[in-house]
């Protein structure tokens, strides 16, 4: 009771503490109450939570306590919202005509509310478990179909991080296609500046030479050119016929990459029809807010020929165990988690949620609706051009355009200043050049306002409306799109709000998310994504900022960046942060590039060896490979720790060329390695830098820190430890923190210069990592509010409870499954591995069988066969209640009993409840039941399922079939029938 002596007695006074606001956040995020903490610690053999923690986290790396200069106590939920409103009010959202890959758009409200603001969509995990992910898999297949239809190329992936990195991935593909034999990549100067800079930065690692060239000057005479990148329409708006250009390139054996614009492609001849080999771009303007730079989905389309070189996740059609079409991620063997340094790319987390939004935008508008929007945008641009010509105060360029008008003038900056007074942003290309880009939200009134701005004080003797009838389409007839697109019924059915609403909900109902149950994926930290954290993301003052708006208009964002940078420095023990990398893998790449720049700055051009333990995540070697590093593997010992003697030997052997060690802490095995100090010292002693993979920060915050441990640089997966929801496979953010000596090298940006936060004294940026200056700025409020509401104590408690929860589960499970690795005192960190390898022999059971059977219990399987094949890695996080942990343990224990039945010969090795899992309703309710086990037991193996059950929608999906019969776009009904016939034949 708040009253010192309970309300019942005579003298009852109240404490000031009890009068503080009551809507505190940590108790909503952290699960276990103090009483539960003690009960759970005791069950693990410790007197208290703190003694469990003391026994778990090595003393040598334990920090005293963490203290923030701001928000140390933690704001309450309502205080947080108020603070965010204050920040929001400091952003001045001007009308943007800047273009450059970012356009204002109307997010259809039904999509806003039912996807972007809906935890049923945004808390989903990447669809590795296909049978409980058919909803978003369908939506991503729609996305791939949208991309292939509009680009005119037959294959697309399910999103990349942004247009700039997509172009860089395409560049890498060209290099690969030509087997690394031609080392020049040409970029036409009509590409966006950020695209050019990202490719330049990226080229280094592949030892590619980038030549930026005027289109007309492009030449392949050197014979050393692997590819050429052009933009269509160009960054300054021009719409050119690339027919001859492509022919010429192909004649020289050069691959053509085209960066393009989806809206333009609804009316322009598609790149595929010019013969482009690879097409990239952003789907942002399809209903995804600009968000001061992101997140949005980029795309990459190519031909089937290059499918094995395609970066990123691809959704494909396969069949399930009943022979019915079912979707899944295709050709995973290309990806870093399998191929490691030989992977096509380091990309892991992508932009699934945003790809889904863009796909649904296309579903809602349909081909006709999209074309109407495009024609309107083009029409308004035509009116602007006609009006400016009439006005005569500036000179309008003569080339055909789609949405962007290029203007020559005597003082571009002066005009931009006038525009700013009208709360309008123009793009100043140079002192005599302005471009004006239109979008879906542009109105006739906007055009009138522009006339006024360009009239320079003179009266405008016409209106936009009055000019319209005289305006002609500016698209040359040869470039007008003739080919149909989006003819599939999905793009032609859901054009009313009710129809789309129901389509969204039908898909959602097929997908398990954190709204249903815990998703205890080791290494992924699927914790609570609290509503208060999510709310500011869709506020217009954050969502509608153009990333290249003058920074003084974005004071709210800038203040948040500066606060967040400082908070993250405190959390990590670093001196400066870059918020540019927009995924964990991008952070790794950026971090290694920082190390590389550092060595280069010291003349150490030869330092290019990167030591990586075999237990590292696939992105680590893939990222190192992208930096041109030579990878040296070191093994682990029986306890799962890095083999220190081996590491020492490797470091000493490569002493002269040692660049870096990549190390995850606690280890990917879920253990706090006691030798981490020593490991850091070995690397430093041999001239290397320590890169720490921060994916496991959830076991560090407030207890230790990368900086304290001795790392020089580290990325944070804000979508793990810092509450950005996984969105079914993205978005994420991978900011990097560095020690002081590395701060000067943090990435910058060609349009809006950036660097470390707090800013170091001098800067020597490594180049550009992401298309937007601060990456996916729109989702930074999530991590920011999380930290600010938790305060230092709440965050530290979170780490402790995350560790407690893992140990509690390990304890409950250890009598049923071997727990693979433990620390010195027998405890695990925030995650742990159970070993299923034995069951292969005793019962023919594989980890996959257990994961699929878990679906029948209403759960998403843990991380499977990584980092150790044949195992499951479980990470409960601090947000899961004891009741939920118990339910999950009960399920696993019950499954262990099911395995025992096979072991004992009571169940058939090939035909048992595990091999038959998951069991969808179509099977369970079929008239014929031919399984040797009971229907009821298949469906309801645990009591809670009677009260509420999540149903898998397909039988087990066949991975091999799908990869053999690759289909990555929507099937028409007739194709569906063929597919099914073929599969059952």
Ligand X SMILES: Cc1ncc(COP(=O)(O)O)c(C=O)c1O
Name the pairing type of β-strands 184-188 and 209-213: parallel
Q: Contact with ligand X (CB under 6 A): which of 619, 748, 754, 877?
A: 619
**Cβ 741 to a copy of itself, closest distance in Å?**
41
Using an 8 Å Cβ cutoff, are 665 and 685 in contact? no
> Is 717 near ligand X (CB under 6 A)?
yes
Cα 81 to Cα 71: distance, rounded to the nearest angstrom: 14
Q: Which does 734 bind (CB under 5 to 8 A by kind): ligand X, a copy of itself, ligand BCT, none?
A: ligand X
CA distance 791 to 797: 10
Q: Select 31 or 792, whichever has its Cβ closest to a copy of itself.
A: 31
Residues 939-968 binding ligand BCT (CB under 6 A) are 962-963, 966-968
Question: Which residue is it, tokens 């066969």?
Answer: 865
Three-state DSSP state, 732: coil
Q: Which does 482 bind (CB under 5 to 8 A by kind): a copy of itself, ligand BCT, ligand X, none?
A: a copy of itself
* Dihedral (Cα; 566, 160, 598, 754), 10-degree rounding: -50
Q: How many residues bind ligand BCT (CB under 6 A)?
A: 11
| Closest residue by beta carbon to ligand BCT | 316
Whole-angstrom distance, CA of residue 569 vs CA of residue 455: 49
Query: Considering beta carbons, is residue 348 or 836 the nearer one to ligand X?
Result: 348
Nearer to a copy of itself, 410 or 473 (CB): 473
Minimum CB distance to ligand X smaller for 556 or for 734: 734
With CB under 5 to 8 Å by kind, the binding choice for 830 among ligand X, ligand BCT, a copy of itself, none is none
Q: CB of residue 873 vs ligand X: minimum separation in angstroms?
A: 10
Among 30, 129, 356, 523, binds ligand X (CB under 6 A): 523
User: Is residue 177 part of the contact set for ligand X (CB under 6 A)?
Assistant: no
The dihedral of CA 613, 617, 620, 626: what is its sign? positive
Residue nearest ligand X by beta-carbon distance: 584
DSSP state, residue 698: G
Quick one: what does residue 963 bind among ligand BCT, a copy of itself, ligand X, none, with the CB cut-off 5 to 8 Å set by partner type?
A: ligand BCT
Strand pairing category for 278-282 and 255-261: parallel
> 472 is in the binding site of which of ligand BCT, ligand X, a copy of itself, none (Cβ under 5 to 8 A by kind)?
a copy of itself
Helix (H, G, I), strand (E, B) or coil at 778: helix
Among 127, 237, 291, 316, interactor with ligand BCT by CB under 6 A: 316
Considering only the stretches 83-91, 328-336, 497-505, 904-912, report the one whose residues sit in contact with ligand BCT under the rule CB under 6 A. Answer: 328-336
If one asks whether residue 732 binds ligand X (CB under 6 A), the answer comes out as yes
Q: Which is nearer to a copy of itself, 857 or 951 (CB)?
A: 951
Comparison of 239 and 350: residue with beta carbon closer to a copy of itself: 239
Beta-carbon neighbour count of residue 101 at 10 Å? 29
**Shortest Å distance, C-beta 363 to ligand BCT:** 21
Q: Indicate which of ligand X, a copy of itself, ligand BCT, none lies near residue 382 (CB less than 5 to 8 Å, by partner kind).
A: a copy of itself
Q: Which is nearer to ligand BCT, 953 or 967 (CB)?
A: 967
318, 385, 572, 721: residue in contact with ligand BCT (rule CB under 6 A) = 318
**CA-CA distances (angstroms) from residue 126 to 288, 351, 450, 969?**
20, 10, 45, 19
Q: How many CA atoms lie within 13 A of 491 on its CB side?
A: 28
Residues of this chain, 631-690, that bind ligand BCT according to CB under 6 A = none
Q: How far is the CB of 899 from a copy of itself (least distance, A)?
A: 22
Considering the complex, what minimum distance in angstroms separates the CB of residue 963 from ligand BCT?
4
* Of 327-335, 468-476, 707-715, 756-764: span binding ligand BCT (CB under 6 A): 327-335
Q: Are 378 and 403 in contact (CB under 8 A)?
A: yes
User: Which residues are within 8 A (CB) of 340 and not within 5 positions of it... i.e. 6 or more apart?
Assistant: 618, 621, 622
976/137 Cα distance (integer angstroms): 16
**454 burial level (CB within 10 Å; 0-12, 13-18, 19+):** buried
Q: Is 142 in the site for ligand BCT (CB under 6 A)?
A: no
Closest to ligand X by CB, 847 vs 955, is: 847
Residue 474 makes contact with ligand BCT by CB under 6 A: no
Alpha carbons 524 and 522: distance in angstroms, whole number: 5
CA distance 769 to 199: 9
Give me the least distance between CB of 499 and ligand X, in Å please. Answer: 26
The Cα–Cα gap between 937 and 945 comes to: 11
Nearer to ligand BCT, 707 or 962 (CB): 962
- The pairing of strands 209-213 and 736-738 is unpaired
List CB contacts of 619: < 8 A, sequence separation 6 or more: 336, 337, 346, 348, 584, 585, 588
* Residues 837-853: b if buried by 16+ CB within 10 A, e if exposed: eebeeebbbbbbbbbbb
Contact 728, 127 (CB under 8 A): yes
Cis ω for the linkage preceding 867 (within 30 of 0): yes
Say which entry of ligand BCT, ligand X, a copy of itself, none residue 84 contacts (CB below 5 to 8 A, set by partner kind). Answer: none
Q: Nearest distance from residue 515's CB to a copy of itself, in Å? A: 4
- The CA distance from 102 to 812, in Å, is 51
Q: Which residue ranges make up the site for ligand BCT (CB under 6 A)?
A: 316-318, 328, 330-331, 962-963, 966-968
Q: Which residue ranges make up the site for ligand X (CB under 6 A)?
A: 348-349, 523-524, 583-585, 617, 619, 664, 668, 693, 695, 717, 732, 734
């Amino acid at each position: 009771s708040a009253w010192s002596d309970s309300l019942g007695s005579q003298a009852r006074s109240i404490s000031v503490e009890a009068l503080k606001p009551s809507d505190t956040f940590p108790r909503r995020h952290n699960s276990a109450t103090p009483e539960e903490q003690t009960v759970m610690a005791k069950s693990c053999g410790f007197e208290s939570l703190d003694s469990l923690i003391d026994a778990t986290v090595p003393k040598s790396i334990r920090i005293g306590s963490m203290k923030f200069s701001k928000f140390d106590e933690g704001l309450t939920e309502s205080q947080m919202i108020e603070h965010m409103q204050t920040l929001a009010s400091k952003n001045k959202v001007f009308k943007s005509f800047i273009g450059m890959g970012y356009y204002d758009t109307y997010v259809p409200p039904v999509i806003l509310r039912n996807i972007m603001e809906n935890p049923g969509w945004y808390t989903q995990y990447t669809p590795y478990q296909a049978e409980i992910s058919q909803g978003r898999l369908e939506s991503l297949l729609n996305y791939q179909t949208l991309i292939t239809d509009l680009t005119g190329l037959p294959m697309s992936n399910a999103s990349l991080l942004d247009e700039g990195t997509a172009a860089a991935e395409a560049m890498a593909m060209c290099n690969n296609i030509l087997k690394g034999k031609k080392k020049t990549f040409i970029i036409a100067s009509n590409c966006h500046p950020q695209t050019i800079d990202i490719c330049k930065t990226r080229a280094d690692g592949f030892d590619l030479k980038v030549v930026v060239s005027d289109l007309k000057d492009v030449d392949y005479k050197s014979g050393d050119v692997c590819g050429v990148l052009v933009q269509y329409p160009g960054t300054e708006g021009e719409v050119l016929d690339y027919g001859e250009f492509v022919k010429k390139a192909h004649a020289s054996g050069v691959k053509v990459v085209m960066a393009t614009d989806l809206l333009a492609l609804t009316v322009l001849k598609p790149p595929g029809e010019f013969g482009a080999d690879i097409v990239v771009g952003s789907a942002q303007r399809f209903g995804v807010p600009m968000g001061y730079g992101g997140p949005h989905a980029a795309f990459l389309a190519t031909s089937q020929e290059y499918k094995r070189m395609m970066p990123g996740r691809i959704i494909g059609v396969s069949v399930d165990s009943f022979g019915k079409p079912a979707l899944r991620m295709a050709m995973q063997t290309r990806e870093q988690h399998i191929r490691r340094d030989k992977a096509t790319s380091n990309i892991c987390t992508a932009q699934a949620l945003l790809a889904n939004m863009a796909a649904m935008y296309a579903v809602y508008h349909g081909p006709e609706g999209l074309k109407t929007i495009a024609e309107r945008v083009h029409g308004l641009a035509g009116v602007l051009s006609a009006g400016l010509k009439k006005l005569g105060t500036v000179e309008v360029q003569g080339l055909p355009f789609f949405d962007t008008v290029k203007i020559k003038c005597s003082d571009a900056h002066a005009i931009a200043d006038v525009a700013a007074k009208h709360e309008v942003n123009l793009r100043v290309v140079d002192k005599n050049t302005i471009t004006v880009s239109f979008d879906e939200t542009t109105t006739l009134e906007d055009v009138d306002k522009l006339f006024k701005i360009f009239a320079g004080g003179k009266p405008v003797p016409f209106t936009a409306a009055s000019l319209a009838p005289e305006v002609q389409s500016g698209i040359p007839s040869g470039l007008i799109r003739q080919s149909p697109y989006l003819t599939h019924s999905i793009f032609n059915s859901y054009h009313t709000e009710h129809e789309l609403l129901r389509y969204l909900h039908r898909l959602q109902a097929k997908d398990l998310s954190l709204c249903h149950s815990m998703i205890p994926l080791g290494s992924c930290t699927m914790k609570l994504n609290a509503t208060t954290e999510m709310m500011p993301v869709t506020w217009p003052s954050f969502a509608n900022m153009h990333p290249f708006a003058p920074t003084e208009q974005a004071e709210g964002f800038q203040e948040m960046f500066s606060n967040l940078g400082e908070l993250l420095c405190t959390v990590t023990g670093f001196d400066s942060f870059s918020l540019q990398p927009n995924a964990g893998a991008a952070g790794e790449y950026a971090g290694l590039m920082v190390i590389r720049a550092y060595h280069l700055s010291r003349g150490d051009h030869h330092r290019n060896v990167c030591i990586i333990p075999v237990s590292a995540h696939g992105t680590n070697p893939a990222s190192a490979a992208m930096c041109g590093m030579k990878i040296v593997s070191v093994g682990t010992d029986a306890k799962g720790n890095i083999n220190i003697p081996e590491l020492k030997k490797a470091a000493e052997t490569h002493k002269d060329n040692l660049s870096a060690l990549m190390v995850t802490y606690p280890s990917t095995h879920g253990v706090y390695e006691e030798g981490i100090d020593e490991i850091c010292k070995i690397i430093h002693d041999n001239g290397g830098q320590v890169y720490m993979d921060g994916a496991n920060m959830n076991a560090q915050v407030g207890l230790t820190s990368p900086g304290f441990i001795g790392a020089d640089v580290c990325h944070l997966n804000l979508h793990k430890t810092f509450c950005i929801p996984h969105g079914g496979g993205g978005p994420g953010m991978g900011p990097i923190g560095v020690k002081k000596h590395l701060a000067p090298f943090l990435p910058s940006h060609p349009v809006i210069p950036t660097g470390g936060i707090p800013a170091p004294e001098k800067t020597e940026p490594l180049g550009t990592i992401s298309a937007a200056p601060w990456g996916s700025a729109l989702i930074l409020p999530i991590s920011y509010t999380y930290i600010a509401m938790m305060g230092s104590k709440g965050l530290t408690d979170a780490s402790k409870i995350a560790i407690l929860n893992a140990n509690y589960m390990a304890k409950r499970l250890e009598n049923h499954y071997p727990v693979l690795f433990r620390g010195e005192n027998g405890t695990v960190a925030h995650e742990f591995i159970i070993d299923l390898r034995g069951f292969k022999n005793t019962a023919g059971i594989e980890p996959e069988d257990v994961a699929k059977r878990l679906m029948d219990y209403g759960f998403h399987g843990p991380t499977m066969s990584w980092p150790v094949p044949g195992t499951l890695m479980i990470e409960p996080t601090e947000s899961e209640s004891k009741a939920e942990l118990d339910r999950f343990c009960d399920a696993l224990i019950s499954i262990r009993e099911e395995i025992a039945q096979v072991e004992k010969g009571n169940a058939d090795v090939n035909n048992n409840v595990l091999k038959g899992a998951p069991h969808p309703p179509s099977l369970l309710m079929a008239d014929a039941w031919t399984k040797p086990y009971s229907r009821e037991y298949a469906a309801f193996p645990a009591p809670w399922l009677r009260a509420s059950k999540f149903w898998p929608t397909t039988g087990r999906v066949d991975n091999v079939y799908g990869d053999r019969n690759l289909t990555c776009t929507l099937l028409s009904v007739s194709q569906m029938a063929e597919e099914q016939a073929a599969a059952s034949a």
